[in-house]
Amino acid sequence: MIHVIGGGLAGSEITYQLAKAGYEVVLHEMRPKIKTGVHKTDKLAELVCSNSLKSKELKNASGLLKNELETIGSFVLEVAKHNAIPGGKALVVDREAFSDEITKTIESLPNVKIVREEVVGIQPKGNNNIWVIATGPATSPKLYSWVRENFGEGAHFFDAVAPIVKANTIDVSKTFLANRYEEGTDYINCPLNKEEYIRFREELVKAKTLPIEGFDKKLLFSRCQPIEEIAKSGLDSMRFGPLRPVGLKDSNGKRAYAVVQLRRDNSVGSLYNIVGFQTRLKWGEQDRVFRMIPALRNAEIVRYGVMHANVYIEPYKVTDEFFRAKKFEKGGMLFFAGQITGVEGYVESIASGLYVSMNILRILEGKTPITFPQKSMIGALMNYVAHTPNLKPMYANFGLIDKKSVETVFNMKKMLSL
């Protein structure tokens, strides 16, 4: 029997791949009985923050990784493409429709049993069970302490979520539609002139934030800095960051002093998220300060930004290169998958799930587990995360592989026929 703990992006990919191959799978998901600090629904594979799976372009590291996942046959990525909504060069999805389709598909698989319960530890029963811990950055404290007791300290960092506003509360007369650096009208752009920007920044840097236990700025994830921290780092930091006007011209071809971008959050276009506005501000402060943006002066926030601690293990100490625990019960096997392994990001968590499921299948078929070539993005990312001491969360980037020798995608198929 295979037990997958965590019905998120990695857990859903693993459950689907193993069930499709004909194996009995028990998927343990604690929501809705036990809440995490970031999930809002009881659906599988919920996207906790942005609804973007980043660039689709092959010349972009995330684009290349998505292309590899598609070639290898990722279920979650296929569903993402099936629920894509306008988003320029990025693969942007209707988050509700995406999670709905994954939940319904997995619920319909006859050899999958979904158990809505919190797993607080794994009691070895010596009957060749395979367990996968895919409980993500918001792993419940009880299970995380079991992991630490059995596998050592692990690590954590802080990540945050951006707010979502109602489309019909945006003052569109103070906006323009445009995509950055390309033709298109997928994004609503809210310009600020110099005075408006300076006033907005002044209020942002002194706005009240929510206290978070153990919060330490040094542990903020570099690519997910809260907007208020960016504002505090310098007068123009936001104008070179989430409010950068570059590549955006209004209908008169004019470039604003600063621009806040809104990205559609669902296919009907009734919800928009504020791009790059992940925040730790108190909710009342989010209302007060974000309404200083002219186009958002009457905006109604339907999901407020929040900050959350992200926990992960250190595979370098705990697992082999297939993310199989070095020490576990005789006969049984325990794997870790998804963001708890130290990858960072939706696509990276899906990739980790696919990689772990592929090797569980090989082991069950009596084949030796394999690694992907390091000339591929998935190969380089898994290799880095598995072998790096003092690991900091890692996402797809070309720094992991030497760009010149990127193994073209189709070689993956040849390699998999081993």
Ligand X SMILES: Cc1cc2nc3c(=O)[nH]c(=O)nc-3n(C[C@H](O)[C@H](O)[C@H](O)COP(=O)(O)OP(=O)(O)OC[C@H]3O[C@@H](n4cnc5c(N)ncnc54)[C@H](O)[C@@H]3O)c2cc1C
Q: Give the burial class of 359: count Cβ atoms within 10 A of its Cβ; 0-12 exposed, 13-18 middle, 19 or more buried.
A: buried
- CB-nearer residue toward ligand X: 8 or 245: 8
**Least distance to ligand X, CB of residue 147, Å:** 10
Stated as kind and residue range, the H or E segment containing 188 is: strand 187-192
Other Cβ atoms less than 10 A from the Cβ of 199: the count is: 12
**Least distance to ligand X, CB of residue 134, Å:** 5
Q: By the 8 A CB rule, do 112 and 98 touch?
A: no
Site residue total, ligand X (CB under 6 A): 38
- CB-nearer residue toward ligand X: 176 or 272: 272
Rounded Cα distance, 172 and 180, in Å: 18
Q: By the 8 A CB rule, do 76 and 53 touch?
A: no
Residue found by looking up tokens 């995406």 in the block? 98
User: Which range in 94-102, 158-166, 172-180, 227-235 contacts ligand X by CB under 6 A?
Assistant: 158-166
Query: Strand, helix or coil at 333?
Result: strand
Binding mask 282-321 for ligand X (x = CB under 6 A): --------------------------x-x-----------
**Least distance to ligand X, CB of residue 30, Å:** 4
User: Which range in 28-36, 94-102, 290-298, 370-378 contacts ligand X by CB under 6 A?
Assistant: 28-36
Q: Residue 101 to residues 22, 190, 196, 199: CA-CA distances in angstroms?
A: 21, 33, 42, 44
- CB-nearer residue toward ligand X: 5 or 230: 5
Residue with CB nearest ligand X? 8
- CB-nearer residue toward ligand X: 118 or 287: 118
The string of DSSP letters for 70-81 reads HHHT-HHHHHHH
**Least distance to ligand X, CB of residue 77, Å:** 13
- CB-nearer residue toward ligand X: 256 or 301: 301
Strands of the sheet with 333-336, listed across from one edge: 112-115, 25-28, 2-5, 130-133, 333-336
Binding mask 339-358 for ligand X (x = CB under 6 A): xx----xx--x---------
Does position 83 interact with ligand X (CB under 6 A)? The reply is no
Binding mask 320-339 for ligand X (x = CB under 6 A): ------------------xx
- CB-nearer residue toward ligand X: 8 or 163: 8
- CB-nearer residue toward ligand X: 104 or 254: 104
**Least distance to ligand X, CB of residue 144, Å:** 8
Does position 50 interact with ligand X (CB under 6 A)? The reply is yes
Single residue of 2, 4, 6, 272 touching ligand X by CB under 6 A = 6
Single residue of 2, 3, 4, 11 touching ligand X by CB under 6 A = 11
What backbone torsions phi and psi does residue 229 show, to the nearest 5 degrees?
Answer: -70, -35
Name the amino acid, one letter, at 193.
N
Interior angle at CA 221, CA 103 and CA 238, nearest 5: 105
The string of DSSP letters for 299-312 reads --EEE---EEEEEE
Does position 38 interact with ligand X (CB under 6 A)? The reply is yes
Q: Residue 277 to residues 69, 187, 306, 311, 352: CA-CA distances in angstroms?
A: 29, 15, 10, 22, 27
User: Which range in 30-38, 229-237, 245-253, 382-390 contacts ligand X by CB under 6 A?
Assistant: 30-38
Q: Which of residues 230-249 bind ligand X (CB under 6 A)?
A: none
Nearest by Cα to 102 from 52, 160, 27: 27
Rounded Cα distance, 229 and 77, in Å: 32
- CB-nearer residue toward ligand X: 197 or 339: 339
**Least distance to ligand X, CB of residue 301, Å:** 16
User: Residue 145: left if φ>0, alpha if ψ -120 to 50, beta else—which one?
Assistant: alpha
- CB-nearer residue toward ligand X: 290 or 395: 395
Rounded Cα distance, 245 and 376, in Å: 34
User: Which range in 4-12, 81-89, 122-130, 326-334 contacts ligand X by CB under 6 A?
Assistant: 4-12
Single residue of 159, 228, 229, 314 touching ligand X by CB under 6 A = 159
Q: Which of residues 104-123 bind ligand X (CB under 6 A)?
A: 118-119
- Tokens representing 329 are 């019960």
- CB-nearer residue toward ligand X: 139 or 256: 139
Give the contacts of 132 (CB within 8 A, at least 6 positions apart): 2, 3, 4, 5, 11, 14, 334, 335, 336, 337, 356, 360
Give residues in contact with ligand X (CB under 6 A). Answer: 5-11, 28-31, 36, 38-39, 48-50, 118-119, 134-140, 143, 159-161, 308, 310, 338-340, 345-346, 349
